[in-house]
Structure 1
Amino acid sequence: MPQLERLSKENPSYYDDVILYAMVFGLSEIWTKKFSTIPLAQLDWYDSYYSDPYTSYFYY
């Protein structure tokens, strides 16, 4: 998974850019699990009640 971490650091919205394609191909559950340990930047429009670091779990 170092490649996913590198891609996420280069493009903070990498997960957001690719998750729609994963959904179309029925791979969103697998994709979300791969990103479960990678911290993601919180989206501007998303307001959460949780104070924990934002993860891909909230998408799924």
Structure 2
Amino acid sequence: KDSQETVEASEEQGGRSEGITLSVAGKLRQLICKCFGTLDDNYVHIEIKTPSGKNGGGE
């Protein structure tokens, strides 16, 4: 699901993965914090950077 949103947003922004990553990361962080409530910022950051890096570097 996260990858799909990133791809869709990527096309809209013209392939600006950085901008999308921040937007998606913010949403993911809120969602994860809501579900778990106790997650380190570092852990969330890594989780978000993994898929976004694949997308940005692939194309």
TM-score norm. by structure 1 comes to 0.41
Higher RCO (CA-CA < 8 Å; seq separation 6+): 2
